[in-house]
Amino acid sequence: MNKVVNNAETAIQDIHDGATIMLGGFGLCGIPENCIAALVKKGTKNLTCISNNAGVDDFGIGLMLQQHQVKKMISSYVGENAEFERQLLSGELEVELIPQGTLATRCMAAGYGMPAIFTPAGVGTEVADGKETRVFNGKTYLLEYAFDADFAIVKAWKGDTHGNLIYKSTARNFNPLMAMGGKITIAEVEELVPAGELDPNAIHTPGIYVHRIFQGSNYEKRIEQKTITK
């Protein structure tokens, strides 16, 4: 078993034009900074990105939007990004907005080997247009399909050489779900340790879901809304 790669460039080298990729993170919290930078450098185009948010103008997925690398975004919330809004209104970028719980659960379903889920979120709204519905115990639910993503790129706090991952605080968010959901999962971690050093009781993502892992560097961890108590 050799899942360890040297760096982000190696980890993402086979991500091809037109690929569908999941990117972990909530806002800028827990995003795979190193892999995003490598994708920007590589210039991969026509990507479909599944990610809760689309970064900000000059950080996160916003960097890929600036280079016009994204064909379609599948997200739940895309505020705080002027370039995104411009590309959306001009028709350069295709956007599918879906409820946040639906987004998370469609990632999870892929990792659980379940083709679809039923959720009440979006019933009676434009999200339900054209979708199959079913009534359980008098309440209407929408049928939503598991995602089918070529790659998942996630960020964890600690990982080991077997690909086991532990996330920190709210930087967990979508990362473990996307780690489960990708056909090929790439994990970047702040600290990579030899197998055996992490407590098996504490693992969030078992290594079976992770195909490539590397220790990232120079994490900026930009804060969107710094709020403090004086």
Partner 1 sequence: MLDKNQIAKRIARELKDGYYVNLGIGIPTLVANYIPEGIAVTLQSENGLLGMGPFPTEDKVDPDLINAGKQTITTLPGSAFFDSALSFGMIRAGKVDLTVLGAMEVADNGDIANWKIPGKMVKGMGGAMDLVASAKNIIVAMQHVNKAGESKLLKKCSLPITGLGVVKKVVTELGVFDVTPDGFKLLERAPGVTVEEIIAKTEGRLVVEGEIPEMIL
Nearest by Cα to 61 from 90, 24, 113, 88: 24
Minimal distance in Å, beta carbon 39 to partner 1?
Answer: 22
Match 């598991």 to its residue by tokens: 146
215 exposure class (CB count in 10 Å sphere: 0-12, 13-18, 19+): middle
- Choose between 113 and 196: whose C-beta lies nearer to partner 1: 113
Cβ atoms within 10 Å of 36's Cβ, excluding its own = 24
Nearest by Cα to 124 from 94, 96, 147, 99: 99
CA distance 154 to 145: 21
Minimal distance in Å, beta carbon 62 to partner 1?
Answer: 14
- Choose between 52 and 69: whose C-beta lies nearer to partner 1: 52
- Choose between 142 and 186: whose C-beta lies nearer to partner 1: 142
Minimal distance in Å, beta carbon 128 to partner 1?
Answer: 10
Beta bridge partners of 56: 59
First-to-last CA distance in the chain? 51
Minimal distance in Å, beta carbon 135 to partner 1?
Answer: 14
Alpha helices in 12-167 (DSSP H): 33-42, 61-66, 82-90, 100-112
Minimal distance in Å, beta carbon 184 to partner 1?
Answer: 20
Cβ atoms within 10 Å of 105's Cβ, excluding its own = 21
- Calculated CA dihedral for residues 109, 115, 120, 121, nearest 10 degrees: 60
Minimal distance in Å, beta carbon 13 to partner 1?
Answer: 28
- Choose between 34 and 105: whose C-beta lies nearer to partner 1: 105
- Choose between 44 and 144: whose C-beta lies nearer to partner 1: 144
Can you give the binding site for partner 1, defined by CB under 8 A? 26-30, 52, 75-79, 85, 88, 95, 97-105, 107-108, 119-127, 157, 168-177, 204, 221-230
- Choose between 5 and 179: whose C-beta lies nearer to partner 1: 179
